[in-house]
Structure 1
Amino acid sequence: MTRPVFPNIQWSGEGPRILGINPWIFDFAAFNVWSRPVGLLACLDMLRAAGASVALMDCLDRTWSDVPWPKAGKYGTGHYPKEELPLPDELFFMDRRYSRYGLPREQVKEALGALNPAPELIMVSSIMTYWYPGALDALELAAEVWPDVPRMLGGNYATLCTDHAREHARADAIMQGTMETEANWASVWNVLGQPVPPLPENAGLGLALDLYSEPRYAPILGSRGCPFTCDYCASHALYPNFTQGSPDAVYASIRQEYDRGVRDFAFYDDALLVTPDRWLWPVLDRIVHDGLDLRLHTPNAMHVRRLNKEVCGRLREAGLHTVRLGLETTDFDNRHDVKLTRREWEDGARNLLEAGFDLDDIGVYILFGLPNQNLDNVEQAIDHVRAFGFRPHLAHYTPIPGSPMFHKAVAASPHPIADEPLFQNNSIWPCVPGGFNWEDAQRWKQLMQGR
């Protein structure tokens, strides 16, 4: 077998060597919507700035030309390669195929084995709690290649399901929360046997994007956390403080990737339009001033109530293409998120259209599968969105530990979702009576398409 060329695995920086691994997705379905492990990339950026040498193995990145990869979708999105796996015992009742999404495991192992010199610490990320089998597999693989190198697990699964991770993960340390806390920052350097350096400037907001050798897209991270406390969201459990970065640092990151050929940029902020004067407007103004021909995307959805005419015009002028809105429900008197009136929704929608956005690029998220939800309201919301000419998207509810609504989900679900994260998977419709079935799934698909 010819050894694959893997330009990503190169040491960057001087000092103790730390390898970050973004693991595969284990799930019934997965689609790449400008996916990047921003938490892991922030950690690697901090560590390098503090004197470490870092490298990245992203199992979800298009890396080898000899790996068959599905045809790319719009603006760089698309499907992942996949390998079908047996259903986990806990999910035996599901009539769906379960797969590992991402690069082939054996080629990842070969590429890791070729990394020389070996790492002194391995950090594995975790995103969705129910994707933890991918994180555990990455830890196992690291142990196969370097049995004596310490392994640390961090990210959302490690933070929100810590007891489960401690019981099941083959890790030497579990990191709860973000690295920029005093205890977590010290723990990394203690594992390395190194003195603890001060946190670098812009800690938690800088991203080591240069570790991708041929990026097709890049994230923009101007803030961490969210000032709001929506019932279904665990943002406060993951990032207790809402922090915003400097416009100079954010623009420098965009310009660096733009000069490397990137043209698609996705905002990863949970509260993009909150106090935009602090960083967003200065960044967009510089994009326009410098004539950057790029496309901006908002997969995390924007707060509709803030979409006045000026905001929509500035976003359009700077190159926003993919618009995602968080409507959630048209039952405006009983909302689980930031209060939104019918008038605010209609004004925001109208302002987008008057600013010249293409209807094909505007999608609206509607919550589906909440505990004790009246699904008739979901149908009404779909009809309401389609009446505007927008495309509705069902945002399937994920019961997230640490979110205000989680106790209601535990009471409503027939599954032990508090004990086993696999039951938190929104693909099984964990809080919908009867759970997932193909007949209902097809019916909802037809409703979304207006049939």
Structure 2
Amino acid sequence: MTRPAFPHIPWSSLPGRENGPRVLGVNPWITDFAAFNVWSRPAGLLACLDMLRAAGASVALLDCLDPTWEAAPDLGLKWPRPGKYGTGHYPKEEIEPPAPLAFMDRRYSRYGLPRERVAEALAALDPAPDAVLVTTIMTYWYPGALDVLDLCAELWPDVPRLLGGTYATLCGEHAARHADAHLMAGPLETPENWSRLSWLIDFDAPQPSGNAGLSLALDLYADPPYSILLGSRGCPFHCEYCASHALYPRFRQGTADAVMKSIQSEHGRGVRDFAFYDDALLINPDRWLWPVLDRITAADLGLRLHTPNAMHVRHLTPEVCARLKAAGLTTVRLGLETTDFDHRHDVKLTREQWEAGARNLVSAGFELDDIGVYILFGLPGQDLGNVERAVAHVRGYGFRPHLAHYTPIPGSPMFGAACAASPYPLAGEPLFQNNSIWPCVPGGFNWDEARRWKLLLHGQQG
């Protein structure tokens, strides 16, 4: 039986600009012990493709974690049906773990599209690209990016390949040794990065301005079950465990008109679930958030809004909670970190602010099951007894506690302490930055403890 042809991944350009350079963006597979799709999109890569298209390039997207082509006959792809609000499992293939992680008693997998199908999709791309942009979302997922780069090098050995994203930005020395690509550290819209890319592909384009970096090429997904919203880049805060400032040194906010235009476009394609990707959603809400929420409410668009990046609890006044509820906020995620309010590693939060924010959410009519609270787990030198008390505290409110497993991130203020506390060479090998191995917990990951924490999260005796 002949296998059906792989679907064509179309080039997209602005009207009258079809003769510009062709730039392919690739979001690689996840290679990890576990992965779950919580409204995942490569926001940085989508921003790059949008600004390149606006400058006159033709762009295409291959997301190894999501089909990005038009509907086609049966391709032999078994993709799990979307779960609640568009989230869900990825298809996966168990593979051998990289040598540094061979000690782990866990299955290691490649999540996303089958590798052979990705290779076929790349080979079928016609005409060939003039440049390939490969992103990286987590530092320790770099094996998937290196694999994609190798596939592209085999197909188009003379085409410039650029590696950007978290791994390229925060682990530059490691990436320079292992990636067969030009490294792009930081946002593309910086003058240095834009000039370098323009030179590599002989593209005489003006420096991006205006909403560059905040506008996303979401239309490159053919039939999306969800979409994302980005009203700002970066964060004004300096939490010790976060590398936001190393990735985006400047906190920028967009405009309500730009965000609303994106919502209307995606809504017109049938999307009803939208996830906010902002790190500081409730900062300066008059700038764009309130006008957007007011327009959503007035238009009665029937949206479900989600906040996978935790909101800052201290900003949850009765008015804020009421406006969020009226606009359709459905999935609420809060950043508590710890109930030891005198010893925090993030934005200062008092017990009174936490209790008021929690009370205001309930008073605004949010369902308890839709309110999840992130509690940091596995920090260097952390007393895990405090984590247990925080879990019990959150459950006492009727909310869902979630352990936010600590990831040692280069460029974050806490990384030095993490390196000192961990038995693994975190700075030399990004694979050891994987939070699945509990890199800063004495003794590391073990199944008995994992099961005990799972029981505690569900209110059962561990």
Report the TM-score range of the alignment, normalised by the length of the smaller protein: over 0.9
Q: How far did 1:449 drift?
A: 0.6
Q: Could you say what secondary structure the match of 1:431 adopts?
A: coil
**Could you tell me how far apart the structure 2 residues matched to 1:7 and 1:216 are?**
20
Q: How far did 1:353 drift?
A: 0.4
Matched, 1:77 2:87: yes
Q: Is the 8 A contact 1:12 1:55 kept in 2?
A: no
Matched, 1:266 2:275: yes
Q: How far did 1:112 drift?
A: 1.2
- 1:20-78 residue CA offsets vs partner (Å, 9 max, x unmatched): 00000000000000000000000000111111111100000045754101232110100
| Structure-2 residue corresponding to 1:342 | 351
| Structure-1 residue corresponding to 2:52 | 47
| Structure-1 residue corresponding to 2:39 | 34
Q: Is the 8 A contact 1:219 1:267 kept in 2?
A: yes
Matched, 1:10 2:11: yes
Q: Is the 8 A contact 2:376 2:406 kept in 1?
A: yes
Q: Which structure 2 residue ranges, 5 or more long, are not aligned?
A: none
Q: State which drifts further: 131-140 or 64-73.
A: 64-73
Matched, 1:373 2:374: no
Q: How far did 1:4 drift?
A: 4.3
Aligned pair partner of 1:126 in 115, 121, 136: 136
- 1:160-186 residue CA offsets vs partner (Å, 9 max, x unmatched): 000000000011x10010011100010
In structure 1, what residue type is equivalent to 2:168? A
**Could you tell me how far apart the structure 1 residues matched to 2:129 and 2:116 are?**
19
Q: Percent identity?
A: 70
Q: Is the 8 A contact 2:9 2:125 kept in 1?
A: no
Aligned pair partner of 1:59 in 46, 64, 69: 64
Q: Could you say what secondary structure the match of 1:231 adopts?
A: coil
Spell out the pairing of 1:227-246 with structure 2 (5 A cutoff).
227-246=236-255
- 1:408-440 residue CA offsets vs partner (Å, 9 max, x unmatched): 000000000000000000000000000000000
**Could you tell me how far apart the structure 1 residues matched to 2:455 and 2:102 are?**
27
Q: How far did 1:218 drift?
A: 0.5
Q: Do the aligned partners of residues 414 and 200 (structure 1) sit closer, same or farther apart at CA in structure 2, a change above 3 Å counting? A: same
Q: How far did 1:8 drift?
A: 4.2
Q: How far did 1:113 drift?
A: 1.1
Q: State which drifts further: 70-79 or 95-104.
A: 70-79
Q: Is the 8 A contact 2:375 2:391 kept in 1?
A: yes
Q: Is the 8 A contact 1:8 1:57 kept in 2?
A: yes
State the TM-score, normalizing by the size of structure 2.
Answer: 0.96
Q: Do the aligned partners of residues 7 and 319 (structure 1) sit closer, same or farther apart at CA in structure 2, a change above 3 Å counting? A: farther
Q: State which drifts further: 327-336 or 134-143.
A: 134-143
Q: Do the aligned partners of residues 236 and 336 (structure 1) sit closer, same or farther apart at CA in structure 2, a change above 3 Å counting? A: same
Q: Could you say what secondary structure the match of 1:367 adopts?
A: strand
| Structure-1 residue corresponding to 2:323 | 314
In structure 2, what residue type is equivalent to 1:158? A
- 1:136-183 residue CA offsets vs partner (Å, 9 max, x unmatched): 111011112222211000001000000000000011x10010011100
Q: Is the 8 A contact 1:49 1:200 kept in 2?
A: no
- 1:165-216 residue CA offsets vs partner (Å, 9 max, x unmatched): 0000011x10010011100010111001222423143110000011111111
In structure 2, what residue type is equivalent to 1:165? A
Aligned pair partner of 1:95 in 105, 119, 134: 105
In structure 1, what residue type is equivalent to 2:340? D
Paired positions, count: 450
In structure 1, what residue type is equivalent to 2:52? L
Q: Could you say what secondary structure the match of 1:337 adopts?
A: coil
- 1:340-365 residue CA offsets vs partner (Å, 9 max, x unmatched): 00010010001000000011111000
**Could you tell me how far apart the structure 2 residues matched to 1:358 and 1:259 are?**
28
Matched, 1:450 2:454: no
Q: Could you say what secondary structure the match of 1:403 adopts?
A: coil
Q: How far did 1:391 drift?
A: 0.4
Runs of 4+ in structure 1 off by over 2 angstroms are 1-14, 62-66
| Structure-2 residue corresponding to 1:354 | 363
**Could you tell me how far apart the structure 1 residues matched to 2:442 and 2:208 are?**
48
Aligned pair partner of 1:249 in 258, 280, 285: 258
| Structure-2 residue corresponding to 1:139 | 149
Matched, 1:156 2:166: yes
Q: Could you say what secondary structure the match of 1:31 adopts?
A: coil
Q: How far did 1:7 drift?
A: 5.3
Q: Could you say what secondary structure the match of 1:276 adopts?
A: coil
**Could you tell me how far apart the structure 2 residues matched to 1:2 and 1:88 are?**
31
**Could you tell me how far apart the structure 1 residues matched to 2:278 and 2:233 are?**
7
Matched, 1:393 2:398: no
Q: State which drifts further: 107-116 or 326-335.
A: 107-116
Spell out the pairing of 1:170-319 with structure 2 (5 A cutoff).
170-171=180-181, 173-319=182-328
Q: Is the 8 A contact 2:9 2:121 kept in 1?
A: no
Q: Is the 8 A contact 2:6 2:117 kept in 1?
A: no
Q: State which drifts further: 138-147 or 31-40.
A: 138-147
In structure 2, what residue type is equivalent to 1:445? K
**Could you tell me how far apart the structure 1 residues matched to 2:307 and 2:177 are?**
37
| Structure-2 residue corresponding to 1:168 | 178
**Could you tell me how far apart the structure 2 residues matched to 1:114 and 1:162 are?**
32
Q: How far did 1:5 drift?
A: 4.9
Q: Is the 8 A contact 1:109 1:145 kept in 2?
A: no
Q: Is the 8 A contact 2:421 2:440 kept in 1?
A: yes
**Could you tell me how far apart the structure 2 residues matched to 1:350 and 1:178 are?**
39
RMSD of equivalent CA atoms: 1.1
Q: Is the 8 A contact 1:9 1:57 kept in 2?
A: no
Q: Could you say what secondary structure the match of 1:394 adopts?
A: strand
Q: Is the 8 A contact 2:8 2:121 kept in 1?
A: no
Q: How far did 1:127 drift?
A: 0.7
**Could you tell me how far apart the structure 2 residues matched to 1:72 and 1:217 are?**
10
